[in-house]
């Protein structure tokens, strides 16, 4: 049986109180949201904080609302189930609702939060293992060791961003609201990430994600999320791709965005690739031709490594397949795409 290490749990009720507790802990505390990722990681001794600061009682971190300008605000502690089942999110930000609906399984979505998903630790088959297992291999550079087992002689950790909602949020131009010792700040989600699997965010573990803000989508916005995984009922992505298509009044694509996940340390926007879709009309031959072109370009840019489970050559072969399926699903306003 894997046991929890000893730690103290603090229960603030406001963001200010939470920040005071975090600063007082001088780097020895971590945030606890739904606990669905941090708890297994504690059991595997992947982190050993002296305290967890539970965010459950912080009211400001909860709730979904849309302001008078049409911006969606998601409190960081909003559960994935709430995001997946929210009728307005399904209608106006469909890729996000679909991505949330495909995270793990129902029980974990009831506990897991959108904030915990954005701030999810990167994953690697050499890292997400018990202490005994990791020790027997001399550890790895992400925790306790110096060597990378994915890329022999590699100098940078390539553990993969594996958070399903991140690519959908990226295509939707999400902004994040952060609390830190310096007060509050807001920044584009796209600026959060860095290419380092040890810690793939530019914010420190002490900074708090308060809320996610999404601009309103166009009247003719289409979006979808496609996810490759071993078991349709629970697994992390082996490859994930979010699609955004905004149509003009004539039905042509005026703006397109694509973002992939489960490849490398950062969610991976495919900006130039998506541009090939602009000016085409879903349902017409020019769109079908562009989809073929985009799928081929995505396969060139997305190069899965043997960092997460699943044969990486198979994952690579699935890149154009899932890119196409997800584009067709978005164009048809169909539901999420996933491998069963
Ligand atoms: C069996 C299993 C399958 C899973 N499958 C998937 C999957 O398919 N896709 C997927 O994306 N995830 C998956 N997960 C991981 C996890 O369930 C989700 O990512 C979930 O959204 C994490 O949210 P949480 O609230 O439980 O985060 P927690 O576990 O509480 O926290 C995760 C991390 O985020 C930090 N954090 C949490 N909230 C904040 C905040 N507000 N500000 C700053 N930092 C914060 C924590 O300190 C911690 O480092 C799976 C987990 C398990 C156990």
- pLDDT tens string 104-127: 999 999 999 999 999 999 999 999
Is residue 96 a contact partner of residue 221, using CB atoms and an 8 Å limit?
Answer: no
Residue 54 CA, chain-centre distance (Å), reads: 21
- Where in the chain does DSSP place strands (E)? 8-10, 29-32, 51-54, 64-66, 72-75, 175-180, 183-188, 208-214, 221-228, 239-247, 253-261, 268-269, 337-338
Which atom of ligand 1 sits closest to the CA of residue 165? 11
Backbone angles phi and psi of 325, in degrees to 5: -60, -40
Which are the contacts of 68, defined by CB distance < 8 A and separation ≥ 6? none
Is residue 270 a contact partner of residue 278, using CB atoms and an 8 Å limit?
Answer: no
**Bridge-based pairing state of the strands 221-228 and 239-247:** antiparallel
Return the number of other C-beta atoms located less than 10 Å from residue 301's C-beta: 16
Query: Ligand 1 pocket check: which of 27, 33, 52, 77 to mutate, most ligand atoms within 8 Å of Cβ?
Result: 33
> What stretch of H or E contains 16?
helix 15-24
| Residue for token pair 């079908």 | 288
List ligand 1's pocket residues with C-beta within 6 A. 30-38, 40, 55, 76, 80, 103-104, 108, 111-113, 115-117, 119-121, 162-164, 208-209, 234-237
Is residue 96 a contact partner of residue 173, using CB atoms and an 8 Å limit?
Answer: no
d(CA 93, CA 170): 12
Distance 286 CA to ligand 1 centre (A): 40
| Residue for token pair 């491998």 | 339
Domain 230-332 CATH assignment equals 1.10.10.60: no
Distance 10 CA to ligand 1 centre (A): 19
d(CA 274, CA 297): 9
Which atom of ligand 1 sits closest to the CA of residue 111? 26
The residue nearest atom 48 of ligand 1, judged by CA position, is 38
Query: Residue 248 corresponds to which tokens in the numbers above?
Result: 């003009």
The runs of H, that is alpha helices, within the chain are: 15-24, 38-43, 80-85, 87-92, 94-101, 106-111, 114-118, 131-136, 165-171, 271-275, 285-301, 312-331
d(CA 58, CA 209): 12
CA dist 4 to 49, 50, 63, 123, Å?
11, 12, 30, 20
Which atom of ligand 1 sits closest to the CA of residue 61? 41
Query: Ligand 1 pocket check: which of 31, 142, 233, 239 to mutate, most ligand atoms within 8 Å of Cβ?
Result: 31
Instruction: Please compute Rg for the chain using Cα positions.
Output: 20
Which atom of ligand 1 sits closest to the CA of residue 37? 29
The region, left, alpha or beta by phi > 0 then psi within -120 to 50, assigned to residue 70 is left
Domain residue ranges of the chain, discontinuous segments joined by +: 230-332
Which atom of ligand 1 sits closest to the CA of residue 30? 47
The residue nearest atom 50 of ligand 1, judged by CA position, is 104
Which atom of ligand 1 sits closest to the CA of residue 41? 29
Structure letter (DSSP) for residue 199: -
Which atom of ligand 1 sits closest to the CA of residue 80? 21
The residue nearest atom 32 of ligand 1, judged by CA position, is 116
Which atom of ligand 1 sits closest to the CA of residue 229? 8
Query: Ligand 1 pocket check: which of 30, 59, 103 to mutate, most ligand atoms within 8 Å of Cβ?
Result: 103
Distance 251 CA to ligand 1 centre (A): 38
Tens-digit pLDDT profile for the chain (340 aa)?
899 999 999 999 999 999 999 999 999 999 999 999 999 999 999 999 999 999 999 999 999 999 999 999 999 999 999 999 999 999 999 999 999 999 999 999 999 999 999 999 999 999 999 999 999 999 999 999 999 999 999 999 999 999 999 999 999 999 999 999 999 999 999 999 999 999 999 999 999 999 999 999 999 999 999 999 999 889 999 999 999 999 999 999 999 999 999 999 999 999 999 999 999 999 899 999 999 999 999 999 999 999 999 999 999 999 999 999 999 999 998 667 765 4
The residue nearest atom 14 of ligand 1, judged by CA position, is 104
Mapped onto helix, strand or coil, the DSSP state of residue 252 is coil
Distance 322 CA to ligand 1 centre (A): 24
Which are the contacts of 210, defined by CB distance < 8 A and separation ≥ 6? 15, 60, 61, 75, 76, 177, 178, 179, 184
Distance 36 CA to ligand 1 centre (A): 5
* pLDDT for res 335: 66
d(CA 304, CA 281): 31
Bridge partners of 256, per DSSP, are 245
């Amino acid at each position: 049986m894997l046991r929890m290490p000893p730690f103290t749990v603090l229960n603030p009720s406001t963001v200010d109180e939470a920040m005071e507790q975090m600063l007082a802990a001088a780097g020895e505390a971590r945030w606890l949201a739904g606990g669905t990722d941090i708890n297994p990681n504690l059991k595997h001794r992947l982190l050993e904080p002296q305290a967890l600061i539970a965010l459950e009682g912080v009211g400001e971190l909860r709730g979904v609302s849309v302001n008078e300008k049409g911006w969606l605000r998601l409190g960081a502690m909003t559960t994935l189930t709430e995001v997946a089942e929210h009728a307005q999110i399904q209608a106006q930000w469909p890729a996000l609702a679909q991505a949330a609906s495909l995270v793990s399984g129902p029980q974990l979505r009831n506990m897991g939060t959108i904030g915990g998903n954005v701030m999810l630790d990167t994953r690697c088959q050499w890292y997400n293992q018990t202490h005994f297992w990791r020790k027997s291999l001399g550890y790895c550079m992400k925790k306790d060791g110096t060597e990378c087992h994915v890329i022999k002689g590699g100098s940078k950790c390539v553990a993969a961003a594996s958070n399903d909602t991140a690519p959908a949020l990226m295509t939707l131009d999400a902004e994040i609201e952060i609390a830190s010792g310096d007060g509050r700040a807001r920044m584009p989600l796209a600026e959060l990430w860095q290419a380092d699997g040890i810690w793939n965010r530019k914010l420190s573990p002490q900074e708090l994600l308060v809320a996610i803000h999404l601009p309103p989508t166009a009247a003719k916005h289409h979006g979808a999320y496609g996810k490759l995984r071993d078991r349709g009922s629970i697994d992390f992505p082996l490859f994930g791709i979010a699609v955004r298509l905004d149509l003009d009044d004539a039905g042509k694509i005026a703006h397109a965005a694509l973002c992939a996940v489960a490849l490398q340390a950062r969610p991976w926007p495919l900006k130039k690739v998506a541009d090939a879709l602009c000016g085409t009309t879903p349902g017409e031959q020019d769109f079908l031709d562009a989809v073929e072109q985009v799928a081929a370009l995505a396969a060139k840019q997305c190069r899965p490594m043997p960092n997460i489970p699943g044969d990486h050559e198979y994952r690579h072969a699935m890149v154009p397949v899932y890119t196409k399926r997800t584009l067709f699903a978005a164009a048809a306003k169909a539901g999420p795409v996933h491998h069963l």
